[in-house]
Amino acid sequence: MLWELARVEGPEAAARAALDRIEAWADPALFLHRVPAEKVLAEARRLAAEGPMGRPLYGIPFVVKDNIDAAGLPTTAACPDFAYVAEADAPCIARLRAAGAILLGKVNLDQFATGLVGVRSPYGTPRNAIDAACVPGGSSSGSASAVSAGIAGFSLGTDTAGSGRVPAGFQNIVGLKPSLGLVPTRGVVPACRSIDVVSVFALTADQAATVLEAMAGPDAADPYSRAAPAGWRATGGALTPALRVAAPEEADLLFDTPDDAALFTAALARLEAMGALLERVSIAPFLALAKRLYDGAWVAERTSALREMVEQKPDSLHPTTRIILEGGLSRRTVDAFDDFHAVAQTRLLSRAMFTRFDLLAVPTAPGIPTLEELAAEPIAANSRCGTYTNFVNLLDLSALAVPSGFRGDSRPVGITLIGPAFAEARLCAVGGTLHHAAGLHLGTSDEPTPPSPASAGAAEGEIALFCIGAHMSGLPLNSQVTSLGGRFLRADRTEAGYRLHALGNRPGLVRAPGGASIEGEVWAIPAAGIGPLLAQVPAPLGFGTVRLESGPCLGFLAEAAGVEGAPDITAHGGWRGWLASQK
């Protein structure tokens, strides 16, 4: 694959392989603008002469959706009369180039990113790389096709209502929808500017996380940009013990075929086999909110972004796009406030859900329509594709779509994991493990899906902390760790020689003769967060050096005098064992 080729043989080998693949693929509806081959190779040689220099995307060819500015190339948003030549790279592209990636060109999309099917373009429909009879998914159609076909090591799309996830599900690849504002959208033609994000397509969750990490960060010139919490990362996450996963009740599930339903059930079973604690919940309020995206304030927001085109050049628009955008002109401001209040109310429900659960698992789409089926009902089929995606942007959530299998007709099916804002590391860790467990090939290749890389230790600027009580994953005080940017590294145990005592709602660990090995978890905490976390820890607890089986580590310890008379629960092996004994 291109990532491995760039790493082993260098940027020029990867660039030549990508250029050869473009010619072999021979889809005239895929690229709208290509960087000339000689310029691609010249950039590859420049990178090779400089060497990796620690650049995470060194020598990896990529493409971008043609609603994102790349210096010197036209931006059309799939509308010829809208076209202009970009004077500068959008910040997201500039950051990817700085990270060593090589731009191949710009690819097709549903016009003005209005659609989830990928056929609303005057330039034609990019071929679905898995099944040419099916829609490619939109609006980031070309972005998904290029990655699935092996042309690009990764690609950028945009996601307003699922455009960074639905095409991934339809083409057996990964689609990462980041948190709002995490990646600047300056230099991106807006759809609904308040909820637009730049998304990532890749063959694996780890690749998508690496790309996101390279381009994330605030932009002082972008009013919708925002900084991530201290210590945020997309890479380096790990599968936490007792992962709490919500899944929709049967009444909230919609599938096109029995195979779609069976593959979702199988994916949930794989999550449980990974140790997840699964619970069915109602997502009816989320699905109700999702319908407002196509029939409320956000239609008007789309129209606002393109008002001049709608009012002065309507004949330049794709017929379906024109119908949608002209509909925004009749929306009333008073109704918009109903929509905004509905979002606020539903966000309360969302926040409550993610205090109980780490993730929500949903189908990526009810099923995949064929081109023939879409032609018969273009708007209804498109809306159906967004059943499980539309609410994510409105509720300020992050999401990752991964492949989950193939139906009996060999058409792909995906599952999407959803988390709160800035949960990308957890999404990618769980999603990568789930993807590997499905035993699928990558995109259109014969390459098997690799396991997620093992979580490394604490990174620069982080401190490893051994947690042994309610601060562990899934327990009541874990939010004190995660809110400070903490990320799970691994389960671990102390050396023999420790005793554990119950101090009400938390344990006290002391080193003592005749002690035993106590289980716990190691979390990486931003160095700046250690003080604020310690300030929340009551006496007689504090931090000190704990000797683990893996070596010494900062951890929770209690003063010996503070545990006198407290129940000794060492025999239970740890706090989780003690809690289980109390049920």
Active site residues per annotation:
65, 139, 163
CA distance 6 to 245: 37
Q: Which helix (H) or strand (E) holds 321?
A: helix 319-327
CA distance 336 to 332: 7
Using alpha carbons only, give the angle 208, 228, 479 rounded to the nearest 5 degrees. Answer: 100
CA dist 124 to 168, 325, 342, 572, Å? 19, 20, 37, 65
CA distance 485 to 369: 40
Nearest partner of 569 among 516, 497, 513, 492, judged by Cα:
516
Which residues, in sequence order, are CB contacts of 7 under 8 Å at separation 6+? 58, 59
The number of beta carbons lying within 10 Å of the beta carbon of residue 479 is 13
Nearest partner of 55 among 46, 63, 66, 64, judged by Cα:
46
Match 């230790």 to its residue by tokens: 457
CA distance 555 to 466: 4
Phi, psi dihedrals of residue 326, rounded to the nearest 5°: -65, -30
DSSP 134: B
CB-CB contact of 69 with 93 (8 Å):
yes
Complete DSSP assignment for 282-297? --HHHHHHHHHTTSSH
Query: Which residues are registered as beta bridge partners of 548?
Result: 494, 551
